[in-house]
Amino acid sequence: MNDRPTVDALPEKPLERLLSVMAWLRDRRHGCPWDIDQTFRTIAPYTIEEAYEVADAIERDDMPALKEELGDLLLQVVYHSQMASETGAFRFEDVAAAIADKMVDRHPHVFGDLKVADADAQTISWEARKAAERARKAGGTEPAGALDGVARALPALLRAEKIQKRAARVGFDWTTIGPVIDKIEEELGELRTELAAGKADPGRITDELGDVLFAVANLARHCKVDPEAALRSTNDKFEKRFRYVEAQLGLKGRKPAEATLEEMEALWQEAKTRA
Task: Specify the long-range contacts of residues 235-240, CB closer than 8 Å, at least 24 apart.
Answer: 240/271
Confidence band for 144, pLDDT divided at 50, 70 and 90: low
Return the higher-pLDDT residue of 130 and 48. 48
Helix (H, G, I), strand (E, B) or coil at 143: coil
Look at residue 152 in the predicted model and tell me its pLDDT.
Answer: 85
Q: Average pLDDT, stretch 187-194?
A: 94
User: What's phi and psi for 231, nearest 5 deg?
Assistant: -70, -35
Q: Is the pLDDT reported for residue 55 higher than 80?
A: yes
Return the higher-pLDDT residue of 6 and 79. 79
Architecture of the 7-101 domain? Orthogonal Bundle (1.10)
Torsion (CA) 216, 218, 219, 220 in degrees, nearest 10 = 90
User: Measured in Å, how far apart are the chain's first and last C-alpha atoms?
Assistant: 58
Domain map of the chain by residue range? Answer: 7-101, 107-145, 229-273
pTM of the shown model: 0.64
Look at residue 155 in the predicted model and tell me its pLDDT.
Answer: 85
Look at residue 149 in the predicted model and tell me its pLDDT.
Answer: 78
Cα 20 to Cα 169: distance, rounded to the nearest angstrom: 45
Q: Is the pLDDT reported for residue 133 higher than 80?
A: no
pLDDT digits (tens, 9 = 90+) for 87-116: 999 999 999 999 999 999 888 888 888 787
Helix (H, G, I), strand (E, B) or coil at 198: coil
- Alpha helices by DSSP H, listed for the chain, are 14-25, 33-37, 40-59, 63-86, 92-106, 108-111, 119-137, 156-169, 178-196, 202-222, 227-250, 261-273
User: What's phi and psi for 11, nearest 5 deg?
Assistant: -60, 155
Look at residue 139 in the predicted model and tell me its pLDDT.
Answer: 65
At 171, the amino acid letter reads G
Confidence band for 148, pLDDT divided at 50, 70 and 90: confident
User: What's phi and psi for 206, nearest 5 deg?
Assistant: -60, -45
Cα 76 to Cα 171: distance, rounded to the nearest angstrom: 38
